[in-house]
Chains A and B, each alone.
Chain A
């Protein structure tokens, strides 16, 4: 076998990215590429599972059995999204416990949007429409991300997200067309969720720390501002059909640009929430740690049961192929 030099590897990596091919777990990749992916995928995974909390808040109080079943299914999906993403991170050699540790100790972040409270039932509709809607706008381009496992996870997630957005829209529409009080509740929810949803796209392009390198690596395909604009343009007619107003007096169609102009975003608020001073930061992490700790006995019981009964596991370990010694077997071993 010929020796593969560092130069060859870099060239092969650059060529694969340039040719729009996917990088797979066992391919060589620059350390910074790996680190960027772990950071982004981890933050994304954390957002999925922390995002379960604001909506789970309303499961027991959903207004009908239909809405309750839908909401349970949606929250369960978000748990699934978290798992797909933790798996993708694991293919890069970063274990789940390490990531959960970093989430619990505040060393890794999740999307700021989940630090806002869900005050009324209408918030569940507004989250589905706006928060899942913004997430979809962000995530659709990630289906073509240069890292294979992340792109594949995103394909799966995007398919499932479209139900999330539609159920939210339908729920909000029912309220908007309901009694004056219900309409008012829907409008109030939109008023509170609109601006935080726009912040989900991240800081403006000229302040975005990692954007340029991520674009060069094709982890990211569009800039923050580009995606934010796309989202605004999508939402305006949807709000009209809902019969609700988006809380921005400067929002108007700009014929020359072919886009909607919108008012300035309060980035001070964004940074404050990011720093941990949002309305629910502490509650979210406390709840997450509590769920993790209170689930410990389940993990222990399952492990004890497995140790007692299982032969499959022992066979599997005894039969581990020699390749396992060199291959980073963090999932997608065959990729």
Chain B
């Protein structure tokens, strides 16, 4: 007997309105991409939550490791000059 866990896991991304990015909504099991899309429609857009859907095999996603979280993102940590608030501008200067 075929059990549902034999079906691959898919990550579902929903674009809620035109002009917005697809956002991760959740996951589901389905035997193939087409069924994954249909299941995603029934599961994540029952109330017009989306105008476009992506389904991505979960196994195709490469994720950064939570254990390396600090060292992996560390290069950005000491560069406050990348933010506009780093700079001191005299009072009264406009449009800057």
Rounded to whole Å, the gap between the CB of B5 and the closest CB of chain A is 5
Q: B93 an interface residue at 8 Å Cβ cutoff? A: no
Q: A333 an interface residue at 8 Å Cβ cutoff? A: yes
Q: B95 an interface residue at 8 Å Cβ cutoff? A: no
Expressed in whole angstroms, the Cα–Cα distance for A26 and B63 within the complex equals 10
- Chain B residues 27 to 48 lying within 8 A of chain A, measured CB to CB, are 27-35, 42-43, 46-47
Expressed in whole angstroms, the Cα–Cα distance for A97 and B62 within the complex equals 26
> Which chain A positions have C-beta within 8 A of B28?
83, 87
Given A330-B9, A331-B11, A332-B27, A321-B62 contact (CB < 8 Å)? yes
10 A/B residue pairs, CB under 8 Å, sorted by A = A83-B43, A296-B2, A299-B4, A305-B32, A306-B35, A313-B8, A322-B62, A330-B58, A332-B11, A334-B61
A interface: dominant SS? helix
Expressed in whole angstroms, the Cα–Cα distance for A77 and B31 within the complex equals 22
Q: A90 an interface residue at 8 Å Cβ cutoff? A: yes
Q: Are A87 and B66 in contact (CB under 8 A)?
A: no
Interface residues of A (CB under 8 A from B): 1-2, 4, 24, 26-28, 73, 76-77, 80, 83-84, 87, 90, 95-97, 152-153, 156, 160, 296, 299-300, 302-303, 305-306, 309-310, 312-313, 316-317, 319-324, 326-327, 329-335
Expressed in whole angstroms, the Cα–Cα distance for A96 and B8 within the complex equals 12
Given A95-B5, A302-B35, A321-B61: 17 more A-B contacts, CB < 8 Å: A73-B46, A153-B26, A299-B1, A300-B1, A302-B7, A309-B32, A312-B33, A313-B31, A316-B60, A317-B59, A319-B60, A323-B62, A324-B62, A331-B26, A331-B27, A333-B61, A334-B61
Expressed in whole angstroms, the Cα–Cα distance for A333 and B63 within the complex equals 6
The 8 Å CB contact of A80, one of B1, B7, B46, B61, is B46
> Which chain A positions have C-beta within 8 A of B7?
302-303, 306
For the complex of A and B, 9 pairs with smallest distance between CB atoms: A316-B57, A306-B31, A331-B27, A321-B62, A306-B32, A310-B32, A312-B33, A320-B59, A333-B61
Q: B17 an interface residue at 8 Å Cβ cutoff? A: no
> Which chain B positions have C-beta within 8 A of A332?
11, 24, 27
Most buried by B among A27, A28, A152, A306: A306
> Which chain B positions have C-beta within 8 A of A333?
11, 58, 61, 63
> Which chain A positions have C-beta within 8 A of B34?
310
Q: Are A1 and B43 in contact (CB under 8 A)?
A: no
Q: Are B9 and A329 in contact (CB under 8 A)?
A: yes
Interface residues of B (CB under 8 A from A): 1-9, 11, 24, 26-35, 42-43, 46-47, 57-63, 65-68, 71
Q: Are B59 and A324 in contact (CB under 8 A)?
A: yes
B interface: dominant SS? mixed
Q: Are A334 and B63 in contact (CB under 8 A)?
A: yes
A320 and chain B: residue at smallest CB distance = B59
Q: Are A329 and B66 in contact (CB under 8 A)?
A: no
> Which chain A positions have C-beta within 8 A of B31?
302-303, 305-306, 310, 313
Expressed in whole angstroms, the Cα–Cα distance for A310 and B1 within the complex equals 20
Rounded to whole Å, the gap between the CB of A27 and the closest CB of chain B is 5
A326 and chain B: residue at smallest CB distance = B65
Q: Are A320 and B63 in contact (CB under 8 A)?
A: no
Q: Are B59 and A334 in contact (CB under 8 A)?
A: no
A8 and chain B: residue at smallest CB distance = B67
Expressed in whole angstroms, the Cα–Cα distance for A332 and B62 within the complex equals 11
Expressed in whole angstroms, the Cα–Cα distance for A221 and B66 within the complex equals 26
> Which chain B positions have C-beta within 8 A of A96?
4-5, 29
Expressed in whole angstroms, the Cα–Cα distance for A7 and B33 within the complex equals 43
> Which chain A positions have C-beta within 8 A of B42?
80
Expressed in whole angstroms, the Cα–Cα distance for A97 and B1 within the complex equals 12
Q: Are A329 and B26 in contact (CB under 8 A)?
A: no
Rounded to whole Å, the gap between the CB of A293 and the closest CB of chain B is 9
Q: Are A310 and B43 in contact (CB under 8 A)?
A: no
> Which chain B positions have C-beta within 8 A of A156?
26
A73 and chain B: residue at smallest CB distance = B46
A27 and chain B: residue at smallest CB distance = B66
